[in-house]
Structure 1
Amino acid sequence: MNIALRNTTQSDADALVAIRIAAMRESLERIGRFDAQRARERFLASFDPALCRFIEVDGVQSGFILIRPQEDHWLLDHFYILPEHQGKGIGAAVLQAVFANADVQRMPIRLGALRGSDSNRFYQRYGFIPTDEAEWDIFYVRQPGEPKQIS
């Protein structure tokens, strides 16, 4: 499996929204909060193509990631894998690459996950610790580990 991260542009916004909706739809429907227009508007309101990357697996768009660097942490603001590509280790591989960079820079990673979403188990499995909860989200942090030595 060959995973690559490809830059996005403003013209990719509709494709990114479609990925976000496809990835979140089941979780949002489960809690009665699915609204495609709201999902679109929330994403586009803060979309920065300079921070966003398509996740491609063997040349096929499989998801995207958007990380917002802050002064004292990185905010993993969006991380979606299309449902048909989930469970294949793609998210784990991308997350491990993010961890490697964050560890070198000694940066914690913060994120919010929709309450009731399978993503909560995923993030906890990879060392994210819950820090706070809101009506619809659970917030997490992962502290930097020791950078891995490449031999």
Structure 2
Amino acid sequence: MERSIHLNAATAEHYQFALELYLLTMRPYTQELMVWDEAKQRASFATLWKLSEVRIVAVDGREVGWLQVQESPTDVHLLQFFIAPDQQGSGIGTEVLRSLLPTWRAMAKPVLLTVLKNNPARRLYERLGFSVVGDSGVKYEMKLNT
């Protein structure tokens, strides 16, 4: 059975969904590398959340993730990308990113992201053409190969 994956514009009502998914998915990896400070994480999330940059990942009409992409005159930055833990490993992340890569490549700008060093999502990014280009402590900086 074929599934239908869509990226939908986020609304203000998606804030809580995105926050809860962020906290759920980031806590285990962050705790391995540093002390988890819930209040600090929530405050950081509130600062970074930009509704106009967020798309909600829906599979067969069910919201299962979200991503935030910031475009500037000089680059494209994948700031956040989260898929619900019970949906991870099913190819959703791969399909979403594969659908975005042609558009990003056509912009002829560097496509950048950071990922926690212990986050298995790094393998996904590498499979899709990203390489580690820097190290910022607990995170790797990655760039899409052109």
TM-score by length of 1: 0.88
- Equivalent residue number for residue 36 of structure 2: 34
Equivalences for residues 2-151 of structure 1 within 5 A: 2-144=4-146
- In the TM superposition, what whole-angstrom CA distance separates every residue of 1:82-140 from its partner, at most 9, and x where no partner exists? 11000010000010111011122223210000121112222112111111101111100
Instruction: Provide structure 2 residue ranges, at least 5 long, that are not aligned to the other structure.
Output: none
Query: What residue identity is the alignment partner of 1:57?
Result: V
TM-score normalised by length of structure 2: 0.91
Letter in 1 for 2:40: R
Q: Using the aligned pairs only, state the percent identity.
A: 22
Cα distance per residue 1:50-82 (max 9 Å; x no partner):
110110111111110110001121000000111
Task: Point out 4+ residue stretches in structure 1 off by more than 4 angstroms.
Answer: none
Contact 1:113 1:139 in 2 (8 A): yes
**Structure 1 unaligned residues grouped into runs of 5+:** 145-151
- 1:34 positional shift: 2.7
Contact 1:107 1:143 survives alignment (8 Å)? no
Q: Determine if contact 1:72/1:108 at 8 Å carries over to the other structure.
A: yes
The AA in structure 2 aligned to 1:29 is Q
Q: How many residues align?
A: 144
